[in-house]
């Protein structure tokens, strides 16, 4: 689940893990394999309990204990079973070679400028992990700042810059083990490349900011009792850090902290759950040693703010479901003095960025980005000229005259542009090459009716001149939750799926933010079934319009998208041939009891509430698997290091499906002991994973192999992350 802590984090997610899996290059002979052996036997318990007056059977609750010897033995047996099947497939080596061509390439992310220095992350073709670099000036020499490769022999420990001092001489950087959300924070002198003695212990951090004079560091961290804001004086023991905000907030809240450009104002944001359907904003005049004051804490709406000068600009849906921008004078912040600088219009506002003394607003027009520049009073100045319909992510500062934005679409790989705020002039800053030709692709947006007659848009990507005979393999993916917008984004692997004759389909499901808060609320809490209906209707539309057929249709989703495909699997198994379900939520009656799931109760509800129990129980995938039912082939993936969505969901669902599925059904679990929700695997390990999961899809859809790879044409590849680095973690599923 993507971060609600900023526009960049919100754009990054988009099921990045799986998008790089999908290449339609079948391997001959797979469909003719002999009957497969049965999966490992799994002990079944007769665990029964009464929840809200309903008797619930949970035969695999013992698999919730991740560290028990029995569970560990079960995981090992499942991995042996999965790899015994996947490793024996013919053509595996050719598939892995092609994936290596696509993934072992140079990747780069947008830079952050501080005092004439440019900080960014880049990975070279022969490297496993992103390395942080700094340049002194746009044309300066590239210098390595942080190289994570020596931190672990297997390259499962990554590192990234989290915060940069305003003079560009000090960075806070995080060390992440595997895919855990938790990081350890350290501080590095940019000139000497040496770390300070200071270290903040491994924890879940939400935000942080270095003071301009580098004397201290503000940060927000989750504790056992809830989130808190601290101040760390550099050069002192972090155990003695001062708590300055957060007392009384529980584990269902998220607190973010940031300093204004220039360091005068500290801004604290309290989010009521990961979807932030209500937020509180506080500020402190640090320069004047003033008290922490409230801007808003009593309105059931979403507010996110950035400071420009002495004004706090608020992106909010208060009295504006599609969003508007308000300005608050921090010298006189009473609500009656707030000013509307950018009013609500027909398109939803995705994000707000302050840049060069101006207000840059990212709108969504039918799920595609459109950037508009306003002056500080809200006067429209110009549109930013984007290459085409697609997704844009902006990196900028109030005091800097330049901004950087990354842009990509389904057929336009990510390119990073430098934009001059005063003139509107822009030029290309960086892009990456990969051997693939996307000129043959066609992108269209169609509209279809969901079960309740709501019109839902869907992007389709396929080869030009596609024959609509129902014979094409199709991959349908979606998310539908947490106000997250699914916008066009490039993937070389998805492009190859299309190049080989496949159809890639991405609907803008309710629950997302593509059309504002009303669209989000239509897919949350008691309306969650609308999301599943939208997804199922998309599959039916593809079949009815002969883009594909049930025998050629696969679905994929991760995290909240894993819940989506789990519900589609159990509600309409007849529509699909193969299902890929990653890092999923599946037991919706117990999900809120584990890890950080309290953050999601405002989005899903909780079985502890009698009324919410009713609709959760009505769709909870784990509770709707029927013995003897003919289900599609399923592969689930998760890992020990997922500290966001508890991997127990994937373990329990695997056991239940294996015990319940029809005679010829196939249910596999691919389980990493060093992987988690936030990635963290080296590229070589990612290639192994993707070979396994992609091979599963190709086998099940019986796609003919046409080419092990292409090198004649070269296009550009979007890097795995639009930011190129990880700041503080997001907390949606």
Question: Under 8 Å CB-to-CB from 519, ≥6 apart: which residues?
Answer: 348, 510, 511, 512, 513
Neighbours of 728 (CB within 10 A): 25
pLDDT of residue 267: 98
Domain-embedded: residue 44: yes
Residue 17 domain-assigned (yes or no):
yes
- List all residues 6 or more positions away from 76 whose beta carbon is below 8 Å from its beta carbon: none
pLDDT digits (tens, 9 = 90+) for 474-502: 999 999 999 999 999 988 778 777 877 89
Q: Where do we find the tokens 């998008």?
A: 19
Neighbouring residues of 595: CB distance < 8 A, sequence distance ≥ 6 = 643, 644, 645, 646
Given phi > 0 = left and psi -120 to 50 = alpha, else beta, which region is 611?
alpha
Give dist(CA 235, CA 217) in Å, integer: 11
What DSSP letter does each residue of 223-253 carry, written as one string? -SS-EEEEEEETTS-GGGPEEEE-TT--TTE
Tokens linked to 208 = 């942080």
Question: What is the distance, to the nearest Å, from the Cα of residue 412 to the centroid of all Cα atoms in its chain?
Answer: 20
Query: Looking at the 3D structure of the chain, how many domains does it have?
Result: 1
CA-CA-CA-CA torsion sign (594, 600, 601, 603) = negative
Q: What is the rounded distance in angstroms from the CA atom of residue 102 to the CA atom of residue 122?
A: 16
Q: How far is CA 403 from CA 1, 118, 234, 354, 416, in A?
A: 27, 12, 30, 9, 10
Question: Distance between CA 262 and CA 267 in Å, rounded?
Answer: 13
107-144 residue pLDDT tens: 999 999 999 999 999 999 999 999 999 999 988 999 99
Instruction: Look at the pTM and tell me if it is higher than 0.85.
Output: yes
- Just list the catalytic residues: 559, 677
Q: Is residue 532 part of a domain?
A: yes
Query: Side by side, which strands form the sheet with 265-272?
Result: 253-259, 265-272, 279-285, 292-296
Mutual angle of helices 529-544 and 560-571, in 10-degree steps: 60
With respect to residue 278, please indicate whether it lies within any of the assigned structural domains: no
Residues forming beta bridges with residue 61, ordered by sequence position: none
Q: What is the pLDDT of residue 526?
A: 98
Q: What is the CATH number of the domain that holds 634?
A: 3.40.50.1820
> Chain-centre distance of CA 457, in angstroms?
21
Burial state string for 159-172 with b = 16 or more CB within 10 A and e = fewer than 16: bbbbbbbbebbbbb
Pick from 682, 651, 519: which is nearest to 65 by CA?
A: 651
Structural domain includes residue 603: yes
Q: Give the pLDDT score at 690.
A: 80
Residue 237 in tokens: 């023991």
**Phi/psi of residue 650, each to 5°?**
-65, -40
Residue for token pair 């526009």: 7
Domain residues for the domain of 467 are 7-101+436-716
Domain assignment present for residue 222? The answer is: no
Q: How far is CA 260 from CA 305, 351, 651, 725, in A?
A: 10, 17, 44, 21
Query: 414 with 431: CB under 8 angstroms?
Result: yes
CA distances from 37 to 87, 310, 468, 488, 689 (A): 14, 68, 37, 41, 22
* Helical axes 69-86 vs 683-701, angle rounded to 10°: 60
Residue 320 lies in a domain: no
Type and span of the H or E element at 370:
strand 368-374
Reference 605, options 597, 595, 596, 616; nearest CA is 616
pLDDT at 101: 85
Low-confidence ranges of the chain (pLDDT < 70): 1-34, 662-664, 679, 704-733
* Strand 183-189, strand 170-177: pairing: antiparallel
**What pLDDT is stored for residue 727 in this prediction?**
32
pLDDT at 435: 83
């Amino acid at each position: 689940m993507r971060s609600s802590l900023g526009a960049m984090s919100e754009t990054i997610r988009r099921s990045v893990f799986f998008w790089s899996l999908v290449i339609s290059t079948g391997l001959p002979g797979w469909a003719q394999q002999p009957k497969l052996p049965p999966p490992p036997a799994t002990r079944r318990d007769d665990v029964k309990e009464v929840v809200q007056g309903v008797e619930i059977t949970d035969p695999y609750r013992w698999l919730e204990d991740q560290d028990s010897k029995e569970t560990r033995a079960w995981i090992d047996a499942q991995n042996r079973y999965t790899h015994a099947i996947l490793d024996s497939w013919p053509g595996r080596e050719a598939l892995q070679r092609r994936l290596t061509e696509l993934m072992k390439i140079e990747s780069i992310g947008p830079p952050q400028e501080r005092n004439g220095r440019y900080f960014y992350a880049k990975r070279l073709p022969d490297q496993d992990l992103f390395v942080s670099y700094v340049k002194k000036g746009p044309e300066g020499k590239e210098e390595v700042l942080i190289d994570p490769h020596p931190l672990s022999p297997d390259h499962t420990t990554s590192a990234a810059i989290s915060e940069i001092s305003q003079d560009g001489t000090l960075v806070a950087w995080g060390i992440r083990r595997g895919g855990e959300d938790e990081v350890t924070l350290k501080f590095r002198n940019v000139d000497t490349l040496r770390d300070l003695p200071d270290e903040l212990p491994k924890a879940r951090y939400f935000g942080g900011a270095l003071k301009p004079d580098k004397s201290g560091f503000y940060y927000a961290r989750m504790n056992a009792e809830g989130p808190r804001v601290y101040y760390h004086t550099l050069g002192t023991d972090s155990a003695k850090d001062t708590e300055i905000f957060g007392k009384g907030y529980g584990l269902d809240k998220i607190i973010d902290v940031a300093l204004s450009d220039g360091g005068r104002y500290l801004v604290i944001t309290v989010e009521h759950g990961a979807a932030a359907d209500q937020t509180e904003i506080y500020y402190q005049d640090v320069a004047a040693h003033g008290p922490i004051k409230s801007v808003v804490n009593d309105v059931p709406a979403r507010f996110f703010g950035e400071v420009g000068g002495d004004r706090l600009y608020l992106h909010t849906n208060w009295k504006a479901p599609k969003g508007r921008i308000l300005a608050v004078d921090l010298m006189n912040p009473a609500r009656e003095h707030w000013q509307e600088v950018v009013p609500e219009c027909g398109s939803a506002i995705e994000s707000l960025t302050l840049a060069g003394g101006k207000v840059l607003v990212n709108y969504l027009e039918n799920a595609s980005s459109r950037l508009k520049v306003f002056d500080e009073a809200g006067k429209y100045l110009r549109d930013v000229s984007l290459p085409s319909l697609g997704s844009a992510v902006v990196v900028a500062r109030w005091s800097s005259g330049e901004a950087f934005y990354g842009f990509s679409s389904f057929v336009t790989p990510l390119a990073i542009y430098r934009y001059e705020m005063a003139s509107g002039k822009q030029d290309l800053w960086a892009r990456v090459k990969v051997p693939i030709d996307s000129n043959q692709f066609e992108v269209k947006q169609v509209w279809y009716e969901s079960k309740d007659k709501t019109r839902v848009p869907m992007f389709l990507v396929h080869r030009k001149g596609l024959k609509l005979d129902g014979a094409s393999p199709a991959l349908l993916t979606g998310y539908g939750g947490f106000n997250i917008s699914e916008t066009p984004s490039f993937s070389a692997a998805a492009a190859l799926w299309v190049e080989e004759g496949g159809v890639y389909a991405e609907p803008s499901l309710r629950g997302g933010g593509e059309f504002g808060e009303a669209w989000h609320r239509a897919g949350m809490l008691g309306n969650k079934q609308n999301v599943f209906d939208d997804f199922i209707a998309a599959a039916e539309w593809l079949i009815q319009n002969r883009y594909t057929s049930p025998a050629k249709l696969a679905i994929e989703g991760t995290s909240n998208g894993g819940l989506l495909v789990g519900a589609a699997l159990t509600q309409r198994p007849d529509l699909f041939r193969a299902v890929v379900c990653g890092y999923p939520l599946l037991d919706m009656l117990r999900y809120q009891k584990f890890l950080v799931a309290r953050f999601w109760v405002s989005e899903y509800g909780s079985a502890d509430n009698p009324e919410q129990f009713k609709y959760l129980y009505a769709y909870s995938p784990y509770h709707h698997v029927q013995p003897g039912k003919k289900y599609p082939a399923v592969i689930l993936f998760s890992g020990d290091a997922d500290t966001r969505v508890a991997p127990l969901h994937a373990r329990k669902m695997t056991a239940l499906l294996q015990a319940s599925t029809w005679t010829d059904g196939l249910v596999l679990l691919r389980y990493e002991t060093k992987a988690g929700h936030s990635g963290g695997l080296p590229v070589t390990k990612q290639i192994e994973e993707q070979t396994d999961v992609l091979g599963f899809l190709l086998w099940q859809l019986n796609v003919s192999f046409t080419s092990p790879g292409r090198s004649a044409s070269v296009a550009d590849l979007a890097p795995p992350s639009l930011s190129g680095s990880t700041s503080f973690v997001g907390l949606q599923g």
